[in-house]
Structure 1
Amino acid sequence: MLRLLRPLGRRVTWTRWLHLFIGTFVFGIWLFISEGDLYIPVIALGLLGFLPAMRMVEGLQARVLLSPHGYKDDASGIAVTSSATWADRWRTVLWLELRLGLGLLTGRITVVLLGLATDLASAAGGGPAPDSLVPLPGGHWWYALLVPLPVALLLAAVVGLGELMTLLARRLLGPSADERLAALEERTEQLLERNRIARELHDSIGHALTVAVVQAGAARAAGSPEFTERALAAIEETGRAALEDLERVLLVLRESGQRPAGGRPTLADADRLLESARASGAALDAELSGPLAQVPGPVSREGYRIVQEALTNVLRHAGPVPTRVRIAVAAGRLELDVRNPITEGAAAVRGNGARGGGNGSGLRGIRERAALLGGEAVAGPHGGEWRVTVGLPLDGPR
């Protein structure tokens, strides 16, 4: 019983009833003015449906009165945009005609059932009213027991017709196939942007924290004021770069429209990255060749992040060990190679993310960056060394 009565306590049930009655009011006003010509409102509504803005007006009204969450409910399945195609216009025309018909039906049912309940109550009290809808012999007290029946039917009609109206609104005022595709593409772009920002934060902040931890541990173990000073300088420089990256990402997330103070780092900034790794105690042997400054922006930025993540993994899992870095541009490709000797226990830790089924987010991020640019990335042990080898085409994915 409570399940059947629950819809009557919802606000949207009665706003849907009001939405249905609007058509009755409009039609009634027309009859009062014209005293005939019933086909004119039908034709007029059909012509109005071809106006592009009519779909937006009806969509807003439907959201306000038919959706449980109001006009801000983007998940209601009701569009609030103007008609873009003739298919949208024809669906709007059909919606207006059905809305008028269901509105008249709702008004008729409401008047008849309320009138019947009134007639039953009058007949139970003595005799039928002279203008009663149903002629009933008066004087029967048990008519009073039947009064709730038309009221219950009316309430059921209010709920059922409201649900039907909402279903029609979703079908006829809902987004078209092109609009759904555009919304899906926009959603996909947002998810890709969020994933890119997550990778940016992982690479930048992860690198800064790794350098800080390694430098602090080395300074404490060395017990040398000079070394401690160099370590603090390296931590400061790396932290400042991470803060710049964080500020840029936060500006994107806030959608403030402002431009970050500095752009994303590229391979032109590779020297700063290599110096940061050397300051952490790693014996870094770097080889940079080719016109790095001419590498396209997307490839250069992602290449910088790949090298940064590879060096971060070296410091995190192997410590300050001798590391070789090769960055080369040749034959229309950017080649990145980072290798270091495998220390005891490091291979098992890093091997978790070395292959496709691994859980290492860093190596997985490297592979994702390479795949987005049409390249390939290989990471794993090779001849007693841990190698990260990446090849990226300079002209983007094919």
Structure 2
Amino acid sequence: MSGWWGAKGRAGGPRPWAGRVLGPRARLRWAHQILGGALLMPYFLLAQVGVGMAAGGGNAFTSLPMSLAAYAAALPLAAVTAVFGPVRPLSVTAVRALCDVPGEGLAEGPARSWAARGRTSAWWTLHLGVGAVVSGMTLAVPPMAVALIGLPFVGGWREIMLEAGWLGGGTDPYAAPLLGLALLAGLAGAAAAAGALLARLAPVLLGPAAADRLAAAEERAADLAVRNRLARELHDSVGHALSAVTLQAVAARRVLDRDPAFVREALAAIEDTTRRTVGELDAVLGLLRDGDPARPDTAPAPTLAADLHGLLARTRATGTTVTARQDPGPAGDWSWLPAITSREAYRIVQEGLTNALRHGTAPVELRISVRGGKAAGHHDAGGRDAGGDRDGRQDRDGREDRRDRELEVVMTNPQARPGSREARTTGGRGLRGAAERAALLGGSVEAGPYGGGWRLRAVLPLAGGDR
């Protein structure tokens, strides 16, 4: 039936206006207006009491002037209540379901600013006010139209309608059906016009304000930041582990018969690598599932201070020669580093080693040093830290000195021959992730050809303290 009413251009079919007035969209909008009339009823009943008291006890249901006064008094009451938060989500839901308005043009959630609340109040008042008028017409017009259409065929209706004032004394009873049909057409046209008006004004009054757009942009940025962080963690931990395990397995297979000791060492390294990676993967999946990066049942994030030695050992177990130079000290005591710097520096070193394993050739040279100021971790003859007291705490001079210091990570290795399977690309997800990690700390990452080989250089400021 709806397809018949909405048909256009068919031979013998209805005119296009019929679909706009009685089609599925028009009927849904009509229902939306009736919903508005129902929502106005509590305000109308409350206003009726006030109008009746002001009029000395009259009944607004039996007096048209009092009904109009109660209707006029109910609209400000509706406008006041519309400033509360749930009104806009309720209105947006109804508009999307019944008014055929695209959801992109409507705001999400409660109104945040007074300007948005004012527009919501205007919409709420307009919807309820128009809906009440259309609802009243919907209740009153159809019975009257049916009576007019049946007037020539039902005896006694003329007298009843004359007594009710619906007809003049000289009205031709056979013209009454045309009047009834005109009333029905007028009702449908009025409902369709009101529905189109509300649909046009909905994006204007319920659309997102500047504060809503800003909140949505911040939410998208936060979501993107979390997704990028997860992507970096998965790429660095799982990607490095797979590269290392692949090379360890290949090296073990090549010397399986000649060097059983090396094979045992490679298998032990594979076992250790996979065990650690499973723990890191569980931590990342826990963050993805629960949004909690600090669950007690997940492994802590690796750091330069605690895990660099194991990372270098697992890389060397692949048969790759790695020469590491660290300042302060040959053992690389990085326990004094801020926690976030230690974590991000470890991941950057891990990414550099992963790239060397995938695309480069041995040997790999790694240098980690502190530039500028006094490097913490150096002790004088009395055991005092060069930047603090005997307990390793920074004094005033040490804290000020940290602002000028930077952690520098430089990794170089020969570049694979152009055109070979291992030939290096100009940078992928891993290098972008390393650059993002450095940018979080206010540092930078450079990677590219250097002196006939390949160099990765990261500079991380040490200001900011532990986090």
TM range (shorter): 0.7 to 0.9
TM-score, scaled to structure 1: 0.81
1:203 and 2:236 correspond: yes
Name 1:183's counterpart in structure 2.
Answer: 216
Cα distance in 2, alignment partners of residues 95 and 164 from structure 1: 11
1:361 and 2:429 correspond: yes
Name 2:301's counterpart in structure 1.
Answer: 264
Name 1:292's counterpart in structure 2.
Answer: 334
Cα distance in 1, alignment partners of residues 201 and 112 from structure 2: 20
Name 2:13's counterpart in structure 1.
Answer: none
State which drifts further: 223-232 or 127-136.
127-136
Would you tell me which structure has more helix in proportion to its own residues? 1
Cα distance in 2, alignment partners of residues 107 and 394 from structure 1: 69
Name 1:314's counterpart in structure 2.
Answer: 356
Tell me how far 1:92 sits from its aligned partner: 4.5
Cα distance in 1, alignment partners of residues 419 and 336 from structure 2: 36
Cα distance in 2, alignment partners of residues 232 and 148 from structure 1: 90
Query: C-alpha deviations, 1:108-162, integer Å up to 9, x for none?
Result: 4434653564255224636754447566522359x47x86665455445445534
Name 1:357's counterpart in structure 2.
Answer: none
Aligned ranges 1:305-384 → 2 under 5 Å: 305-318=347-360, 321-331=362-372, 332-345=405-418, 351-354=424-427, 360-384=428-452
Q: Is the 8 A contact 1:7 1:159 kept in 2?
A: no
Cα distance in 2, alignment partners of residues 308 and 108 from structure 1: 73
Query: C-alpha deviations, 1:190-229, integer Å up to 9, x for none?
Result: 1111111101101111001111111111111111432222
Helix, strand or coil for the counterpart of 1:293? coil
Tell me how far 1:243 sits from its aligned partner: 1.3
Cα distance in 2, alignment partners of residues 106 and 16 from structure 1: 10
Helix, strand or coil for the counterpart of 2:239? helix
1:105 corresponds to which of 121, 133, 154? 133
Q: Over aligned residue pairs, what C-alpha RMSD do you find?
A: 3.6
Name 1:61's counterpart in structure 2.
Answer: 90
Tell me how far 1:78 sits from its aligned partner: 4.1
Q: Is the 8 A contact 2:308 2:346 kept in 1?
A: yes
Q: Is the 8 A contact 1:288 1:328 kept in 2?
A: yes
Q: Which runs of 5+ in 2 are unaligned?
A: 1-5, 9-18, 53-59, 61-65, 373-404
State which drifts further: 164-173 or 362-371.
164-173
Cα distance in 2, alignment partners of residues 274 and 12 from structure 1: 68
Query: C-alpha deviations, 1:335-394, integer Å up to 9, x for none?
Result: 11111112334788654324xxxxx22222223333343322221222222111111222
Name 1:232's counterpart in structure 2.
Answer: 267
Q: Is the 8 A contact 1:328 1:336 kept in 2?
A: yes
Name 2:106's counterpart in structure 1.
Answer: 77
Q: Is the 8 A contact 1:210 1:315 kept in 2?
A: yes
Tell me how far 1:325 sits from its aligned partner: 0.7
Distance change >3 Å, CA 276–CA 140, structure 1 → 2: same
Name 1:118's counterpart in structure 2.
Answer: 146
Cα distance in 1, alignment partners of residues 123 and 224 from structure 2: 35
Tell me how far 1:324 sits from its aligned partner: 0.6
TM-score, scaled to structure 2: 0.70
Helix, strand or coil for the counterpart of 1:334? strand
Identical aligned pairs, as a percentage? 35
Q: Is the 8 A contact 2:47 2:74 kept in 1?
A: no
Q: Is the 8 A contact 1:285 1:325 kept in 2?
A: yes
Cα distance in 2, alignment partners of residues 379 and 233 from structure 1: 32
Helix, strand or coil for the counterpart of 1:125? coil
The one-letter code of the counterpart of 1:267 is L
Cα distance in 2, alignment partners of residues 300 and 204 from structure 1: 15
Distance change >3 Å, CA 395–CA 350, structure 1 → 2: farther
1:22 and 2:38 correspond: yes
The count of corresponding residues between Structure 1 and Structure 2 is: 384
Query: C-alpha deviations, 1:13-39, integer Å up to 9, x for none?
Result: 465133222255346535764333855
The one-letter code of the counterpart of 1:99 is H
Cα distance in 2, alignment partners of residues 251 and 163 from structure 1: 49
